[in-house]
Amino acid sequence: VVRVGLSGLSIEDHYRLGEAISETADQLGKRVVMIASGDLSHKLTESGPYGFSAEGPRFDKEIMECFEDADFLRMMKIKPEVCESAAECGHRSFVIMAGAFDKRKVDAHVLSYEGPFGVGYGVATFEGGEADPNRNYLDHYIAFENKAREERMKHEDAYVRLARLSAETLVRTHQYTGLPKDLPEELLNQRAGAFVSIHEHGKLRGCIGTTEPTQQNLALEIIANAVSAATRDPRFPPVRPGELPSLVYKVDVLSPAEKIDSESQLDVKKYGVIVENGSRRGLLLPDLEGVDTVEQQIAIAKQKANIAPQESVQLYRFTVTRHQ
């Protein structure tokens, strides 16, 4: 019995692990059973352990359809944000299993599905058959990801392109980029605080920003914060060159912060919040995945500032213009 854990690595990496397990089994010349264990969505009902998300039932339905047809490519292409919203914990386990069946025919049988406690449980069996070169799902998945990346970069605006250029130049050359010649006037003439967020495989990879302008113009503000997000966020190791193609960038340009008197003047979708107690200050951007109430928003901002939940704070609000 070999226990295999999951990680925050990519879908591609988990699939390759499954391939390696299959190759090892072939070399040993033994029959092998793989148990790909993990719950489906934890957000099927309001009374469930994590409440309800519309993505919960959708995720479970799609997974079970993939199981019925052994359509592992469709399963691999489920968006990371859907997995996150559904609060699942089995997807990467299933991807490892898919890798073990690479380039083989698969006989699939769905045995059951239920979600009695707000958590989805699916049971299916898969048996590998003869070789089938058309089920080279990793090749198809990489091609799909490359095309999606090209489309995403094609539609990036000047703000996001500048953030990407700044991070990539620093990581590859250890030098700051100069200002591109074709920047819009507002980037050169405007001053504002800005946050640069970097995501990889649907997970946060770095986020650094300024609440007020610290540079001569907004372009330089973005360059400095993109470099910091890629290399100086204390929560993550510096970005490595090999990661650059898979990174997704967002730029939030902040309005000046406005002092407010109460939580009733906040709206998690419209306003970001700053909490302040003496020299301690914490900030949370608006309209973030998983932050659904003002109470959550303030609690997270307090936590970031090392302010205890029961301590009083001065509140500020601000709006953002989001580029992604």
Helices and strands, number each (H, E), in the chain: 10, 10
User: How do residues 83-107 score in pLDDT, each as one tens digit?
Assistant: 988 999 999 999 999 999 999 999 9
Tokens of 215: 């540079």
CATH number at residue 50: 3.40.830.10
Higher-pLDDT residue of 203, 18: 18
Rounded-to-integer distance, Cα 85 and Cα 292, Å: 12
Q: Mind giving me the DSSP string for 95-114?
A: HHHHHHTTTEEEEEEEEEEE
Q: What is the pLDDT of residue 324?
A: 86
| Structure-derived torsion over alpha carbons of residues 37, 74, 121, 9, reported in degrees to the nearest 10 | 40
pLDDT exceeds 90 at position 201: no
Domain boundary among 254, 283, 313: 254
Q: List Cβ neighbours of 170 (8 Å cut-off, separation of 6 or more).
A: 176, 177, 227, 230, 231
Q: Burial of 7 by CB count in 10 Å (0-12 exposed, 13-18 middle, 19+ buried)?
A: exposed
Q: Average pLDDT, whole number, for the chain?
A: 94
Q: Closest Cα to residue 113, out of 41, 185, 164?
A: 41
Give the type of residue at 279: S
Domain boundary among 254, 272, 294: 254
pLDDT bin (cut points 50, 70, 90) of residue 147 is very high
User: How do residues 132-142 score in pLDDT, each as one tens digit?
Assistant: 999 999 999 99
CATH number at residue 219: 3.30.700.20
Q: What is the pLDDT of residue 49?
A: 84
pLDDT exceeds 80 at position 290: no
Q: What is the pLDDT of residue 289?
A: 78
Q: Closest Cα to residue 58, out of 95, 100, 87?
A: 87
pLDDT exceeds 90 at position 164: yes
Q: Across-strand partners of 317?
A: 258, 273
23 and 76 inside one domain: yes
Domain total for the chain?
3
Domain boundary among 104, 137, 170: 137
Q: Are 41 and 59 in contact (CB under 8 A)?
A: yes
Rounded-to-integer distance, Cα 26 and Cα 217, Å: 60
Tokens of 188: 């050169």
29 and 132 inside one domain: yes
For residue 67, give the H/E element and its range. Answer: helix 55-69
pLDDT bin (cut points 50, 70, 90) of residue 292 is confident
Domain of 218, in residue numbers: 156-254
Q: What does the pLDDT average to over 270-285? A: 94
Any domain includes 5: no
246 and 259 inside one domain: no
Q: Which residue has the tokens 């919040």?
A: 273
Q: What does the pLDDT average to over 199-213? A: 91
User: How do residues 49-62 score in pLDDT, each as one tens digit?
Assistant: 889 999 999 999 99
64 and 170 inside one domain: no
Alpha helices in 101-180 (DSSP H): 137-154, 158-173
Q: List Cβ neighbours of 3 (8 Å cut-off, separation of 6 or more).
A: none
Q: What is the pLDDT of residue 212?
A: 92
217 and 271 inside one domain: no
First to last CA, the chain: 45
**φ and ψ at 277, to 5 degrees?**
-140, 105
